């Protein structure tokens, strides 16, 4: 399916999400896209980790607790994916309006969540 292009060469989606501002240097747009993809890979790693934690039962860990930890890890992956999409749009808009780039709000979420998940798993293995 091809996009309907306006006279400025932009498709309907681009015009809808970024209705105003100047087109940034393509190198910066592509760098923003690569950053988005890196956040997406991170969210997929959390998803895989949560699924693996639930899929491979550890006898010494209560199944309800294991499921809770797995759901937490998967939920963090989902939040990172959502944050990545929001960050991509916010950075692109900032570049189009020549404004400072926004602070990445998903960095503290990622750091804190990774710390909580790793600490929980470590405690669960130590108390076995």
Which sequence spans correspond to the domains of the chain? 33-126
Q: Please state the rounded mean pLDDT for residues 29-56.
A: 95
Would you place residue 85 in the very low, low, confident or very high pLDDT band (cuts 50, 70, 90)? very high
64 CB-near residues (< 8 Å, 6+ apart): none
Q: Which two tokens stand for residue 33?
A: 């896209």
3-class DSSP state of 100: coil
Give pTM, 2 decimals. Answer: 0.79
What mean pLDDT comes out for the span 105-127?
84
């Amino acid at each position: 399916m091809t996009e309907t292009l306006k006279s400025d060469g932009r498709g309907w989606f681009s015009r809808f999400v970024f209705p105003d501002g100047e087109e940034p240097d393509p190198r910066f747009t592509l760098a923003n896209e690569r950053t988005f993809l890196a956040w997406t890979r991170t969210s997929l790693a959390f998803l895989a980790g949560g699924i693996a934690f639930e899929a491979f039962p550890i006898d010494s860990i209560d199944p309800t607790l294991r499921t809770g930890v797995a759901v937490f890890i998967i939920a963090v992956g989902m939040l990172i994916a959502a944050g990545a999409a929001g960050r991509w749009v916010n950075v692109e808009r900032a570049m189009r309006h020549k404004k400072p780039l926004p602070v990445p709000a998903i960095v503290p979420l990622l750091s804190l969540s990774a710390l909580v998940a790793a600490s929980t798993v470590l405690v669960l293995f130590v108390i076995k």
